[in-house]
Every structure is written in structure tokens, then in C-alpha cells.
Amino acid sequence: MSATMSPRPLSQQTIWITGAAQGLGAGIARYMAPSGTLLVLFDYDGQGVKRTAEQCGANASAIVADLSDAEATDAAIAEALALSPRVDTVIHNAAILVPKPFEAVDLGEFSRTLNVGLQAGFQLASAVWRPMLEAGGGTLVFVSSRSGIEGFDQEAAYCAAKHGLEGFSKSLALEGEPHGILSVTVTPGMYMKTPMSDRNYPDELKAKWVDPERLAPAFAYLAANRPAELSGTRLDAWTLSQSHQIDS
């Protein structure tokens, strides 16, 4: 491991997680909570994200925000920084996927999908970049999918957002490496039982899906260990979770 990317126990970290009302974001938060991590959870679903925060205990805070709106995202970031100006890890998991033929997609839908997936990713990373530089490092994790490297029928906006995240993360990895900032994309690597999956998976995939919390060890490992050799890469959460349990 590079000397510029020193490990930091989860118990000493502040971690932001977007899309934390349900699914993978909620699973990651619940998995990390027993380590004593200070969790700041973002979602537009106020009831859902508050429920996740309650499940995680006293060290978790819920921030209700529509990440498709730049001003609302900036306000949410300001609220999060007021809770803790030091941010060690950002896990940008929020996304919109509404399969639809391209001719039926209007500009508003296309923009909302890119705004949540890519624009909000930029805003989050921009907000924590200088504090991470000053602190000597940090971890940026952008949740991607096969749609980040392949095209899929009826997913023009979603594929564009995920492809954008892949390139964005690679660029940040190059700039961040000398300063101890790890930047990676992570795909689930396994079919997850989430509300989004329930809407979009056929029955044969639903027969294989797992609880998203089983993928959470990968995110805990990346946050706690900052493995420099992985910066700029695209990782598989299912595979990584099999070999790494929580390191608090």
C-alpha cells in the first residue's frame, strides 16, 4: 500500500452515503453502524432515510435531499458539513433507472437521471476534495453497474450516467493518488434484492438475488483500508466481500 494512502479505522471516520433510504445504501449503512462510524445518510425519501438512520443508531444522521436539483444538493452538502467538516469516505450510490424506449425519453427525464448519478457525484466530490487534501487522504466510491461499460436496451439515460461516473472516477484517481485520495467505481457483482431490482428484474434473476447487506463488506474494506493499488479501478462488490469482512 502506498504510504500516501494510510488506513483509517471506521470508528474514526465520517462517511457519507447517498441513496440510503433502502437497498444497497441502507445495507451499507446498517453494516457499518456497529463500528461506531459517524454516518451521514442522504435520500429524497425522507421517511425511508430517517428509518435507516434510526436502525443505525445515535451515530447516524439523515438528510433529506433531491439530488437531481443542484441547489438542493448544495444545501444538503452544507447541512452535512455542519455535522462534521471532516469527511473520510463518500459512497455515491443514488441513481434513477426507469427503463423506457429512447423515443419516449424527454429532456427532463434524461437530465434528472444524469443529475442524480453524475452531477451529484461531482458536487459531493467537489465539496470534500479540499478537506480530504488537507486531511491527507480520503475515499471516494461511485456505485456503477454493467451499464457503465455496456449499452442496454431502454437505458439510454442510465447508461450515460454510469459511463460518466466511470470516467469521472478514473480522472479523480489520477489527481488524488499523490494526496492519498482513493477513487474507485464498484458494481454489485451479484443480483440484489432492492425495490429497483424488484421493478426491473425478470423472475429468473429474482431467483438468484441476495440481500444487499451481503455486498457491504466491500465498501467497508475500501473505506477502512484505502488500498492504493485499486485506485482508478472498477471493482466487484460481491467478489470483494467474500474475501474482506469489516475492518473497524
Amino acid letter, residue 223:
A
Catalytic residues: 158
Residue with cell 472516477: 169
139: β partners: 89, 182
Cell numbers representing residue 13 in the block: 471516520
Region at 192 (left for phi over 0; alpha for psi -120 to 50; beta for the rest): beta
From 93, 52, 61, 67, select the one nearest 80 (Cα to Cα). 61
Which residues lie closer than 8 Å to 85 by C-beta, 6 or more apart?
131
Which residues lie closer than 8 Å to 202 by C-beta, 6 or more apart?
none
DSSP state of 175: H
d(CA 21, CA 60): 13
CB 38 within 8 A of CB 12: no
DSSP state of 49: H
CB 223 within 8 A of CB 89: yes
